[in-house]
């Protein structure tokens, strides 16, 4: 992340699509974009056909004319994309908001397996945990609006990049400058943020997960500064079927694929192939 020379600013990406094999859908979190999956997607493309779209209202993604952004409407859009690709079902991996969308798609029968990494939506409605989740996101609305007025300054500013990397990871220095620059740009171009924040407060959370038949692996991070595992992981640990994998990542933050893409790729591939071959993942 250090260095004084300017690097070309990343361009928005509507979707990553690479590799061949088992169909695999990667879903990013709020304020992010497909860029956060690039390294992990490249590793997984050796075994899978990987598709990582930009979610609606996010950098590179489609805008919704009515402005109704929620986990449900985002899932509607992704489901339409799967239909266009001819993917009746696929393996799904979602981080944060993407994990919430992944659960919505699994409930619709679209998931062969689901890997949820630091998933959102695991609060009761209403609850203190729900309010805390919205309180974490809400300050980003005025902050991103102010930074957006500064042009390219936030992307080139070392402090801004470090603060963003520290929020999302345990080890900011493990994140490349290109990756964190893409994160900053995505955060500055997310018109869905106000609606998603409001939906967190007033909308329903995830439906009961105890009856899910999809093989699920939930991965929580011990150093998650956005959705701390001790509060936001409880419902997943308690409510998912006994057959679901529950993993706690040590020394990892909210978006672990930024700091350790190989580790995440291995955990995803292990779950896909253990489930495909009817083996219990360890």
CA angle, 151 then 156 then 161, to 5°: 110
96 is catalytic: yes
| 8-state DSSP, 172 | G
Tell me the C-alpha distance between 58 and 190, whole Å: 4
Task: Kindly give the residue spans of alpha helices, DSSP state H, lying in the chain.
Answer: 38-44, 71-85, 97-107, 128-137, 140-148, 153-156, 158-168, 177-188, 193-202, 229-232, 234-239, 256-259, 261-276
> Of residues 58, 91, 254, 271, which has the active-site annotation?
254
Q: What is the dihedral of CA 127, 170, 9, 68, to 10 degrees?
A: -10
Is the CA virtual torsion 25, 56, 138, 2 positive or negative?
positive
- How many angstroms separate the CA atoms of 274 and 279, rounded? 5
* Residue showing tokens 């609850």: 127
205 is catalytic: no
User: Catalytic pick from 33, 70, 96, 205?
Assistant: 96
Residue 76 is encoded by which pair of tokens? 């509607």
Query: In the annotation, is 254 catalytic?
Result: yes
What are the residues whose beta carbons fall under 8 Å from the beta carbon of 153, sequence distance 6 or more? 147
Catalytically annotated residue among 224, 245, 260, 271: 224
Residues recognised as catalytic: 96, 224, 254
């Amino acid at each position: 992340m250090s260095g004084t020379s300017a690097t070309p600013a990343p361009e928005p990406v509507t979707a990553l699509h690479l590799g061949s094999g088992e169909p695999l859908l990667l879903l990013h979190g709020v304020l992010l974009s497909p860029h956060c999956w690039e390294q992990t997607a490249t590793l997984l493309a050796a075994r899978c056909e990987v598709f990582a779209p930009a979610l609606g209202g996010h950098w590179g993604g489609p805008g919704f004319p009515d402005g109704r952004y929620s986990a449900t409407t985002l899932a509607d859009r992704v489901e339409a994309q799967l239909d266009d690709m001819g993917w009746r079902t696929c393996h799904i991996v979602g981080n944060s908001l993407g994990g919430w969308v992944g659960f919505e798609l699994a409930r619709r029968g679209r998931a062969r397996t689901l890997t949820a990494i630091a998933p959102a939506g695991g609060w009761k409605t209403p609850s203190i945990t729900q309010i805390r989740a919205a309180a974490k996101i809400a300050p980003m609305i005025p902050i991103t609006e102010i930074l957006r007025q500064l042009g390219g300054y936030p992307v080139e500013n070392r402090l801004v990049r470090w603060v963003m990397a520290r929020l999302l990871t345990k080890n900011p220095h493990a994140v490349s400058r290109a990756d964190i620059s893409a994160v900053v740009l995505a955060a500055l171009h997310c018109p869905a943020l106000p609606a998603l924040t409001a939906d967190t407060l007033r909308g329903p959370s995830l439906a009961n997960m105890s009856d899910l038949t999809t093989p699920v692996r939930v991965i929580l991070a011990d150093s998650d500064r956005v959705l701390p595992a001790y509060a936001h992981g409880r419902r997943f640990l308690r409510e998912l079927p006994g057959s679901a994998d529950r993993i706690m990542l040590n020394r990892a933050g909210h978006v672990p694929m930024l700091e350790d893409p190989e580790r995440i790729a291995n955990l995803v591939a292990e779950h896909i192939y253990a489930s495909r071959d009817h083996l219990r993942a360890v």
